[in-house]
Amino acid sequence: MHPSPVKSQSKTMKAIVWTAYGPPEVLKLQEIPKPIPKANEVLIKIHATTVTLGDCESRKLDFPFPLKLLMRFAVGFFKPRKKTLGQELSGVIEEVGEKVENFKPGDQVFASTQFHFGAYAEYVCLPANHHVVHKPDSISFESAATIPTGGLNALHFIKDANIQPGEKVLINGAGGNIGTYAVQMAKQKGAYVYVVDSQAKLPMLLSIGADEGIDYQTRDFTQLGHTYDVVIDVVGKFSFSNTIQVLNEGGRLVLGNPRVGTALRGLWTSKTTDKRVIPSLAPYTPEYYQKMVDLLASGEITTVIDKVFPLEEVPEAHRYVEKGLKQGCLVIKV
Ligand SMILES: NC(=O)c1ccc[n+]([C@@H]2O[C@H](COP(=O)([O-])OP(=O)(O)OC[C@H]3O[C@@H](n4cnc5c(N)ncnc54)[C@H](OP(=O)(O)O)[C@@H]3O)[C@@H](O)[C@H]2O)c1
């Protein structure tokens, strides 16, 4: 049953305002003007959003060159121009602009705001044709909010990996948003799945289907005597040359967090050997959104949700994510 749209009369809303680049303390709970939808926009009353590692990296502008410079141009050179962080959300349409045809008040949706951010708030306005997707009743608001970052990136990395049944697949940094979805998708393809993450996350990863866990703090997956058909690196923390050595003939290394230097070395490796290195940047396409809806609605994969924090505790949630405590996804209930 869709919740009936009760239009708020208030002209303001609560939001976590991003006041500067820096530690979690730069995020402050404030009352700000409630947005008004333009003709092509929908106003969404947000029910859930997330805190991802990407949000923490954006908050403190913690990116390698040249991405850091690009981000300064996109988001604000000396301080953020954007009022609030948060790149994904789920909720209920409260109002639609006069040109919007595909949504109506009361529709349950989820959405990606990408680098427009704005999800750490009670309301957001988004173009109706821009990454706003109908949410079926069978997917919870909490789960739907995690689809854009975790789900879509995992789908794309798995597609690029071209996994065949029986292949040995290693996922480096498997215990987070992207990895927990990727592990389940690799198992669906019939792979034998090794996961690399910190010890505390390995039982959870085995419970969602991984075959073997490797604690990166005590063991190096390139030095265990195993070889792999596919390595999907989610975190960008690994030895490139050692990883190429443990790839089987025809093996694929998917760079989910590609740095310029690694991508260039990858180009050379792909040209001069029978191994392929694939820098992977996920496009957020309607087909990917639909595929994720189908996978979650059918129960073929599930969302791993660690904790749910209220909106007021977003700074605390950022601290939790930054300490590496998060297993799977962290949701903010608005
Ligand atoms: N390519 C793209 O289009 C794209 C899109 C979105 C995000 N990203 C990037 O992808 C990265 C991961 O995203 P996510 O949301 O899945 O992050 P996440 O939820 O924080 O998961 C990353 C996991 O990697 C683990 N880890 C940290 N250091 C490691 C190491 N040396 N070896 C193995 N595992 C390690 C972390 O565990 P501990 O914290 O316990 O160490 C954590 O469980 C972020 O940097 C993000 O910016 C890329």
> From the CB of 328, is ligand 1 less than 6 Å away?
no
Report which secondary-structure segment, H or E, holds 178. helix 177-188
> From the CB of 178, is ligand 1 less than 6 Å away?
yes
pLDDT at position 320 is: 98
Q: Does domain 12-146+303-333 have CATH number 3.90.180.10?
A: yes
| The amino acid at 68 | K
Q: Which residue, judged by its Cα, is nearest atom 34 of ligand 1? A: 173
> From the CB of 174, is ligand 1 less than 6 Å away?
no
Burial of 41 (0-12, 13-18, 19+ CB in 10 A): buried
Digits of tens for pLDDT over the chain (334 positions)? 455 556 777 899 999 999 999 999 999 999 999 999 999 999 999 999 999 999 999 999 999 888 899 999 999 999 999 889 999 999 999 999 999 999 999 999 999 998 889 999 999 999 998 799 999 999 999 999 999 999 999 999 999 999 999 999 999 999 999 999 999 999 999 999 999 999 999 999 999 999 999 999 999 999 999 999 999 999 999 999 999 999 999 999 999 999 889 999 999 999 999 999 999 999 999 999 999 999 999 999 999 999 999 999 999 999 999 999 999 999 999 9
> From the CB of 329, is ligand 1 less than 6 Å away?
no
Q: Which residue, judged by its Cα, is nearest atom 40 of ligand 1? A: 324
Fold that domain 150-279 belongs to in CATH:
Rossmann fold (3.40.50)
In sequence order, the 6+-apart residues with CB closer than 8 A to the CB of 27 are: 16, 17, 18, 19, 59, 85, 120, 314, 315, 318
Report which secondary-structure segment, H or E, holds 48. strand 41-51
Q: Which residue, judged by its Cα, is nearest atom 9 of ligand 1? A: 257
Q: How far is the CA of 13 from the centre of ligand 1 (A)?
A: 32
- Measured over the CA atoms of residue 288, residue 145, residue 63 and residue 186, the dihedral's sign is negative
Q: How far is the CA of 68 from the centre of ligand 1 (A)?
A: 18
Q: How far is the CA of 324 from the centre of ligand 1 (A)?
A: 9
> From the CB of 49, is ligand 1 less than 6 Å away?
no
DSSP β-ladder status, 212-215 and 329-333: unpaired
Does residue 66 have a cis bond before it (omega within 30 degrees)? yes
Query: pTM (2 decimals)?
Result: 0.95
Q: How far is the CA of 106 from the centre of ligand 1 (A)?
A: 35
Q: Which residue among 131, 197, 243, 284 is best mutated to probe the pocket of ligand 1, counting the most ligand atoms within 8 A of its Cβ?
A: 197
Annotated domain spans of the chain: 12-146+303-333, 150-279
